[in-house]
A and B are shown apart, each in its own frame.
Chain A
Amino acid sequence: SQQGEEDPQALSIQEGENATMNCSYKTSINNLQWYRQNSGRGLVHLILIRSNEREKHSGRLRVTLDTSKKSSSLLITASRAADTASYFCATGGGGADGLTFGKGTHLIIQP
């Protein structure tokens, strides 16, 4: 069963604008991760936020986590055409556990 659900399913913005994607999950977590997938490619790990963290930054990425609402958001600032991709949140992992992914948000950056 899917743990995370991303929202929106698709997002189209102009280059230079900020993009915000949301993720909701169902059960308690140790951490939440965000991955990017370019069309037809494998996934690339972007950022991990632990359950005791509320916000984390990495370059143009900002992730927030609200464990009381079981939700997370990924903000990409000053978007570029190269940011066009699908973005997935994932929970689980560690030890031998696989990750549980949402269905993803497809982000299109218009030049």
Chain B
Amino acid sequence: SQTIHQWPATLVQPVGSPLSLECTVEGTSNPNLYWYRQAAGRGLQLLFYSVGIGQISSEVPQNLSASRPQDRQFILSSKKLLLSDSGFYLCAWSSSGAYEQYFGPGTRLTVT
């Protein structure tokens, strides 16, 4: 069966510090991968998606970036965090051509 992992689970970082969140998927090949952010009490906002290694599309302009160095690894990064980057970050995967997405447990990021 397929599983999706995210780490760390929680993170507290000062403004201006770098960020690296990691997501890995097991049990499937060539998945579509997604990063979402959820602000407190709100729905999810799509940040990035990827259909393959090195292929990243961005949905919103921001100081975040994403990379996909391996087929089942998706990384969300920032060189300098802003207070507004605080939130709950969720990684998800889907099979190519499928509509359903499967989410990881999320990373709670607090920028202080």
Interface string of B17-52 (1 = CB under 8 A from A): 000000000000000101010000111101001110
Contact status A94-B44, CB under 8 Å: no
Q: Of A33, A42, A93, A96, which contacts B57 at CB under 8 A? A: A96
Q: Of B32, B34, B59, B99, which contacts A33 at CB under 8 A? A: B99
**B7 in the interface (beta carbon within 8 A):** no
Contact status B51-A45, CB under 8 Å: no
Determine the distance from Cα of A2 to Cα of B34 in the docked complex, in whole angstroms.
17
Q: Of A2, A33, A97, A98, which contacts B100 at CB under 8 A? A: A33
Interface string of A92-111 (1 = CB under 8 A from B): 01111111111110000000
In this complex, the interface size class of chain B, counting residues with CB under 8 Å from chain A, is 20 to 34
Contact status B42-A103, CB under 8 Å: yes
Contact status A98-B104, CB under 8 Å: no
**A59 in the interface (beta carbon within 8 A):** no
Contacts of B98 in A (CB 8 A): 93-94
Contact status A42-B100, CB under 8 Å: no
**A43 in the interface (beta carbon within 8 A):** yes
* Given A48-B99, A93-B99: A99 and B108 interface contact (C-beta under 8 Å): no
Contact status A101-B106, CB under 8 Å: no
**B87 in the interface (beta carbon within 8 A):** no
Contacts of A48 in B (CB 8 A): 99-100
**B64 in the interface (beta carbon within 8 A):** no
Further pairs besides A96-B32, A99-B34: 4, Cβ < 8 Å:
A48-B99, A94-B99, A98-B49, A99-B44
Q: List 12 A-B contacts (CB under 8 A).
A: A33-B99, A40-B108, A42-B103, A43-B103, A44-B103, A88-B43, A93-B100, A96-B49, A97-B49, A103-B41, A103-B43, A104-B43
